[in-house]
Structures are given as C-alpha cells and as structure tokens.
Structure 1
Amino acid sequence: MTEAPAAAPQPPLPDRLSVDPASPHHVAAVFAHDIGIRLNGKERHDVEEYCFSEGWVKVPAGRAVDRRGRPLLIKLKGSVEAFYRAPAA
C-alpha cells in the first residue's frame, strides 16, 4: 500500500497580502495554496491586493495599464474575508 502524500500545512492568512512579488506584502508560502477572497459576501477572482483591518481590496480598472505595463488598480471598500479553497478531488 502507498500512502497519499501529506499536504503542506497552510500558513495563516496575513492581514494584508499582495499578488505582486515586488511588494513588501507578498507572502510566497500563501500562494502555494489556492486562496479565495470575498468582498461584501461575493467571491472575487480579480483581487490583486487586500487588507482585512482597513476593509479594502484592489482590483484592476478595466484594461488600463501604467507605463510599465502593470494594470491600474482601484480600491473597493467593504467587508473582506480570505479563505483557503478546498483542494479539488
């Protein structure tokens, strides 16, 4: 018999997290797992950065980009919650 490999432990989700690796709020260990973000009870799939304590998320503003080719972000405020998604079976 072979045992299934043990899943890596999930680190606690930080108060503030960014997708951008150049950001000081980027935590690579969290992105090893699939995470989800809810804003005001609705799941969002386009979140670039969030902050629990201040109650905001940053999402791309359409297809507008800055001079370095990164999307321009807008801040949406509300009730923010992040969670780990269950692995697909």
Structure 2
Amino acid sequence: MTQPHDPPALPDRLSVDPRSPHHVAEVFQHDIGIRFNGKERFDVDEYCVSEGWVKVPAGKTLDRKGRPLLITLKGTVEAFYKTA
C-alpha cells in the first residue's frame, strides 16, 4: 500500500512540456533521473522507455516558435526517482 508521500509510478512516456499530452505534473514534484545507455542524462526533455528513445535539445538551436530544437536519440532508457 502506498503512503501519501510516496511518488506516483513513473509513466512509460513522459515530457517536461506542460502542453504535451505526456506531461504528468504529479511526477515533477519529485526529483527524476534518466539513465540513457548506462549514463545519467540531465538534458532530457521527453523519454519513452518501451520504444527506447529520448529527446534532447540540439545545442542552442531554436525552432521557429523560439523553443529548443529537439533531436531524438535511440538506445536503452531507464527512468528512476532520485533518493536524497
């Protein structure tokens, strides 16, 4: 049984963009880590564990709406909650 302070289960796909249908605000109340191909990444904007990809900014390049241009990297994705 989960306690009220326990974090929710991490979804298979998650986005930091609040406009995305894959954004889950409750998850972002906790520290999340993403391990991609065995290394922890700190620049992930969106991930999908089952499909094995992450989206990260392509340097300082912006799209026509002024948001960072994202590139998709394929590999092994593992999402986890960071513990204090």
What residue identity is the alignment partner of 2:16?
Answer: V
TM-score by length of 1: 0.88
**Which segments of 5 or more consecutive residues in structure 2 lack a partner in the other structure?**
none
Distance in 2 between the 1:7 and 1:67 partners? 42
The yes-or-no answer on 1:83 pairing with 2:53 is: no
Give 1:70's match in structure 2, choosing from 59, 67, 72.
Answer: 67
CA RMSD in angstroms, aligned pairs only: 1.3
The yes-or-no answer on 1:34 pairing with 2:31 is: yes
1:50-79: per-residue Cα shift (whole Å, max 9, x none)?
A: 001100000000100012111000000100
Task: State the secondary structure of the residue aligned to 2:25.
Answer: coil
> What is residue 48 of structure 2 aligned with on the other side?
51
The yes-or-no answer on 1:15 pairing with 2:31 is: no
**Which segments of 5 or more consecutive residues in structure 1 lack a partner in the other structure?**
1-5
Distance in 2 between the 1:48 and 1:7 partners? 27
TM-score by length of 2: 0.93
Distance in 1 between the 2:54 and 2:63 partners? 19
Distance in 2 between the 1:46 and 1:7 partners? 29
Distance in 2 between the 1:31 and 1:7 partners? 16
- Count of aligned residue pairs for this structure pair: 82
Identity across aligned pairs (percent)?
A: 73
